[in-house]
Amino acid sequence: MPDTLDVLFSPYGLTAEGESYLPHPTQQKLLDWVAEVRAGKSTVPGIPVLYLQHGVDSGGTRGMLAPLMECVFELAGLRVLIGRKDFNDLRLSVMETFFEILPQELLAESDAQEHRYVIKAKGGTSQVFFRELKDVKGLGSQEFGVIYVAEAHEIDVASYRTLKQRCRQQGFPTFILLEGNPPGHGHWLTNLTDPKHPDYDPDITRLTLSSYENKAFMKPGYLTMLEAMPPSWQRRYLMGEVGALTEGTPVYPAFQEPIHVHETKLIPDRPLIRGWDFGYRKAACVWAQQEDSGRLLVHKEWMAIETPEDAFIDGVITRTNLWFGARVARDYGDPAARNRDPHGVSALTRLTQHGIQMSYRQTTYGQRIPLINQRFSQLVGGVPAITINPACQILIEGLMGGYRFPELVEGRDLNAKQEIPAKDGWFDHLADAFSYLMVNLYGQSTPAAVKTIAARRARQRRVQVRRGAVVF
């Protein structure tokens, strides 16, 4: 077996010449921190924890996996837990990267049902367990040497403390790795890593990783697109800094995170409701269900970046099956999906080719925004009419103010300024997908207002039948 990590695999990618990239500065700091812990040089009072707070597309996952996998290869007998709140999200993110990096010849045994993998190590084998972290009590009395939590802001502080109790495998250096985009002020991760806060946890070391450090791996033009975002967005999602998204006036002031953001549970035997927003740069989908009372539960979100329409539709179908299984779906979207691309094909046509019939309603912002604000202000059976799952991070951030009217500029007509929300290139896509879903569910219905592919095809069939045509 090779002796060094860079011979085993290339965790940070390869150059055009096939040579391994060296870790960028923050990734190196992470490697150094793990090396100190393994050498017994950590001075923290409890279990050492490193929290990597990073921007988008910053190399955070590879930065975490590199030292973790080095431990797996070099410490025979080590038990490693890799988790995320939702298992299927874990499967689509960290697991995919893990098996991309892992040389296949080092996989000694796999148990797909238990999500346990035995990895060849120096002098024996190690074990890697992939787990959902919605209920960490399910881990029971299991003990691990290393724990890695992806998108750590998704779990609650009680789960974090339980994981610390499970990180105690005897005879091995024990530590925890946490990573994710920066949460807002008041989040438990922000509080625990702030030396001035009463809840400060001295076991945690926080590193901040900006997207700029990973620019060598970004698609051409991607960084330029990020730099066009509002300054508050850049501070948080480009620079990796804790902060609020405050520029401009929120489009949905009736939305209140403590009221409207809670865990949601799938309703058996109820159809899914999907809201679609198309676009090459960004395309978005939200998944929801409606209770018999009319109350809406928003379960999931997904935003695809620079993804062709067919691949985006396939991605929605894949995620629907992973997250919800085979389930009937009702689909709502943007009327602009009727427009044809340069190849003469519309998004509606592509949806039809995938067996999806999307309804749409021709409305204006002036119609949609008051309707949605009103719905956020309503109670159904004594509880909010809309509940959004914490997993819908971008949608929630948008509703909190990321999706906004433009900043007020002196000398401009204020009413005109506030008619149309800013097309910021990030929050607007999921906000639009959500609004299309809402207006189709709760908007005033008129016979001519809602159009569907199915209805159009039904009319075509009736005409064909009258003409004596064969209809399939």
Q: What tens digit of pLDDT does each residue of 259-317 get?
A: 999 999 999 889 999 999 998 788 999 999 999 999 999 999 999 988 889 999 999 99
CATH number, span 5-233 = 3.40.50.300
Q: Which residue has the higher pLDDT, 459 or 56?
A: 56
Question: Over the stretch 197-216, which tens digit does the pLDDT of each residue have?
Answer: 889 999 999 999 999 988 88
Q: Identify the bridge partners of residue 132 per DSSP, sorted by sequence position.
A: 84
pLDDT for residue 206: 94
- Average pLDDT rounded to a whole number, residues 436-447: 77
Confidence of residue 16 (pLDDT cuts 50, 70, 90): low
pLDDT at residue 104 above 70? yes
pLDDT at residue 446 above 70? no
Question: Over the stretch 319-377, which tens digit does the pLDDT of each residue have?
Answer: 999 999 878 789 999 988 888 776 678 889 999 999 999 999 988 888 899 999 999 99
pLDDT for residue 113: 86
Q: Which residue has the higher pLDDT, 230 or 362?
A: 362
Question: Over the stretch 106-159, which tens digit does the pLDDT of each residue have?
Answer: 999 999 888 999 999 999 999 999 999 988 888 878 999 999 999 999 898 999
Confidence of residue 388 (pLDDT cuts 50, 70, 90): very high
Confidence of residue 221 (pLDDT cuts 50, 70, 90): confident
Q: Which residue has the higher pLDDT, 435 or 401?
A: 435
Q: 149 by DSSP, 3-state: which? A: strand
pLDDT for residue 229: 78
Question: Over the stretch 27-80, which tens digit does the pLDDT of each residue have?
Answer: 889 999 999 999 999 999 999 999 999 998 888 888 899 899 999 999 999 999
CA distance 49 to 59: 19
Cβ contact 207:26 at 8 Å:
yes
Q: Which residue has the tokens 């009395």?
A: 141
**Domain segments of the chain: what residues?**
5-233, 249-460
Confidence of residue 94 (pLDDT cuts 50, 70, 90): very high
pLDDT for residue 76: 96
Which residues, 6 or more positions from 368, have their beta carbon under 8 angstroms from its beta carbon?
435, 438, 439, 443
pLDDT for residue 305: 84
Q: What DSSP designation does 159 have?
A: H
pTM passes above 0.75: no
pLDDT for residue 462: 44
- Average pLDDT rounded to a whole number, residues 426-430: 91
Question: Over the stretch 233-251, which tens digit does the pLDDT of each residue have?
Answer: 788 888 988 866 655 688 9
pLDDT at residue 469 above 60? no
CA distance 303 to 280: 11
Dihedrals φ, ψ of 69, to 5°? -70, -30
pLDDT for residue 332: 96
Q: Counting Cβ atoms within 10 Å, is residue 352 exposed (0-12), middle (13-18) or buried (19+)?
A: middle
Angle, helices 365-376/427-442, rounded to nearest 10 degrees? 80
Confidence of residue 445 (pLDDT cuts 50, 70, 90): very low
Pull the structure tokens for residue 293. 């009372």
pLDDT for residue 245: 60
Q: Which residue has the higher pLDDT, 12 or 267?
A: 267
Cα 414 from chain centroid (whole Å): 35
CATH number, span 249-460 = 3.30.420.280
Highest mean pLDDT: which range of 9-13, 237-241, 371-375, 461-465: 371-375
CA distances 434 to 44, 202, 368, 379, 389, Å, are 45, 40, 10, 19, 13
pLDDT for residue 341: 72
CA distance 452 to 332: 9
pLDDT for residue 460: 44
Cβ contact 23:31 at 8 Å:
yes
Q: Counting Cβ atoms within 10 Å, is residue 170 exposed (0-12), middle (13-18) or buried (19+)?
A: exposed
pLDDT at residue 430 above 50? yes
Pull the structure tokens for residue 118. 């035995």
Cβ contact 61:93 at 8 Å:
yes
